[in-house]
Amino acid sequence: MLTVCVLAAACLMAGFSPAGLMADEPATADHFSGEQAFGYLKALCDLGPRPSGSVGMQKQRGMIVRHFEGLGATVSRQPFQIRDRRSGETVAMENLIVSFHPDRSDRVMLAAHYDTRPFPDRDPVNPSGIFIGANDGASGVALLMELGKFMGSLPGKIGVDFVLFDAEEYVVDRRDPYFLGSIHFARRYASKPPKHRYLCGVLLDMVGDENLLLPQEYHSISWPDTRPIVDGIWQAASEVGAREFVPRPGPTVDDDHVPLRTIGRIPTCDIIDFDYPHWHTTQDTPEHCSGKSLETVGRVMLHWLRGVSRGGSEP
Ligand SMILES: [Zn+2]
């Protein structure tokens, strides 16, 4: 993501109740496993840096597609190209759209970026060193890889798409644009509308911090169409006892949810722990992430999705 400023407005949630959340959520064996999710995070990081157009990205794409197809999902590729500003060469990009119950026309999008920043440019020692992107890159993907195991049995009428964006931060210097993948996706959705429609979207970014704390990203609570989504998710968090979801305003973060909403007209909120000391440094590694954090966010998302889908109405 791009810029941040902390706003201290005293903006508290209204008493929104998410559609259809039920008290009889079964405490079943189908428990979102933080251990499994963390295993995926490590496997992604073991591929090395995964910036757009790299060999690491290609390997990662193969791993992700195999994983989700193995879970019975339909994976669509959305290729696009950009011209590198420095070399003038074409770079091949690809968003991935992972669909569960593709026949369901009312859909919810969960999104994450899967590229990693080319360089750890905030690193005080080695800003042109190796950037692994364990939290900023792998965490959202790993969470979705575990969450995907529960989507085939999602009750109700809502279909779910996991959308993985390329080129969120194909950024080498300040002049480089962010969000190329989500902008491409949003333009396509707006100009050539598919048969389905997205009721809403949730972006997951930097959700693996070992010291997880999730206040509510400020765009997401300021926009009238995304505020109810935030309220519903934080309500779901309170129901599963996830105290890391704090119902108070957090930083304003420009992230992939901005083009999704402004260009694609898909109301999308951002779940992000921006208080991560290793952001854009060589230290953004699995050692500073935890399966427990992934499990916390995963359980909340699963509980929220089940409620929304059972309700069968706008979140
Ligand atoms: Zn980043």
Taking the centre of ligand 1 as the mean of its atom positions, its distance from the CA of residue 135, in whole angstroms, is 9
Query: Within 13 Å of residue 195, how many CA atoms lie on the same side as its CB?
Result: 5
Judge whether 25 lies within some domain: no
Cα 288 to the center of its chain, rounded Å: 19
Q: Residue 43 is encoded by which pair of tokens?
A: 């496997």
Judge whether 8 lies within some domain: no
* Cβ-count burial 206-243 (b if 16+ within 10 Å, e if not): bbbbeebebbbbbbbbbbeebbbbbbbbbbbbebeebe
Whether the pLDDT of residue 16 is over 70: the answer is no
Taking the centre of ligand 1 as the mean of its atom positions, its distance from the CA of residue 295, in whole angstroms, is 22
Distances, alpha carbon 75 to alpha carbons 57, 134, 160, 183, 237, in Å: 17, 23, 12, 20, 29
Say if CB 258 and CB 272 are below 8 A apart. Answer: no
Taking the centre of ligand 1 as the mean of its atom positions, its distance from the CA of residue 126, in whole angstroms, is 16
pLDDT in tens, 202-250: 999 999 999 999 999 999 999 999 999 999 999 999 999 999 999 999 9
Taking the centre of ligand 1 as the mean of its atom positions, its distance from the CA of residue 153, in whole angstroms, is 33
Taking the centre of ligand 1 as the mean of its atom positions, its distance from the CA of residue 50, in whole angstroms, is 12
Judge whether 2 lies within some domain: no
**Greater pLDDT, 15 or 98:** 98
Mean local confidence (pLDDT), 181-186 = 98
pLDDT in tens, 133-171: 999 999 999 999 999 999 999 988 899 999 999 999 999
In terms of Cβ atoms closer than 10 Å to its own Cβ (0-12, 13-18, 19+), residue 29 is: exposed
Mean local confidence (pLDDT), 119-146 = 97
Taking the centre of ligand 1 as the mean of its atom positions, its distance from the CA of residue 23, in whole angstroms, is 37
Query: So what's the pLDDT on residue 202?
Result: 98
Taking the centre of ligand 1 as the mean of its atom positions, its distance from the CA of residue 280, in whole angstroms, is 6
Q: Looking at the 3D structure of the chain, how many domains does it have? A: 1
Judge whether 66 lies within some domain: yes
- What residues form DSSP beta bridges with 106? 197
Query: So what's the pLDDT on residue 174?
Result: 83
Taking the centre of ligand 1 as the mean of its atom positions, its distance from the CA of residue 42, in whole angstroms, is 18
Judge whether 112 lies within some domain: yes
As a whole number of angstroms, the distance between CA 108 and CA 314 comes to 10
Range of the domain at 157: 32-311
**Greater pLDDT, 66 or 9:** 66
Query: So what's the pLDDT on residue 29?
Result: 39
Lowest mean pLDDT among 60-64, 171-175, 194-198, 263-267: 171-175
Say if CB 139 and CB 207 are below 8 A apart. Answer: yes
Q: Which residue has the tokens 């990081």?
A: 45
What's the mean pLDDT when you consider all of the chain? 90
Judge whether 137 lies within some domain: yes
Taking the centre of ligand 1 as the mean of its atom positions, its distance from the CA of residue 279, in whole angstroms, is 7
Taking the centre of ligand 1 as the mean of its atom positions, its distance from the CA of residue 18, in whole angstroms, is 31
Q: Residue 70 is encoded by which pair of tokens?
A: 């193995």
Who contacts 20 (Cβ-Cβ below 8 Å, separation ≥6)? 156, 307, 308, 309, 310, 311, 312, 313
Whether the pLDDT of residue 281 is over 60: the answer is yes
Query: So what's the pLDDT on residue 4?
Result: 41
Whether the pLDDT of residue 14 is over 80: the answer is no
**Residue 82's domain is classified under what CATH number?**
3.40.630.10
Whether the pLDDT of residue 200 is over 70: the answer is yes
| Residue 83, SS3 per DSSP | strand
pLDDT in tens, 18-47: 333 333 333 343 699 999 999 999 999 999
Tell me what percent of the residues of the chain surpass a pLDDT of 70.
89
Taking the centre of ligand 1 as the mean of its atom positions, its distance from the CA of residue 136, in whole angstroms, is 5
Judge whether 26 lies within some domain: no
Judge whether 193 lies within some domain: yes
Mean local confidence (pLDDT), 249-256 = 97
Taking the centre of ligand 1 as the mean of its atom positions, its distance from the CA of residue 137, in whole angstroms, is 7
Who contacts 14 (Cβ-Cβ below 8 Å, separation ≥6)? 227, 231
Whether the pLDDT of residue 81 is over 90: the answer is yes
Q: Residue 27 is encoded by which pair of tokens?
A: 């405490």
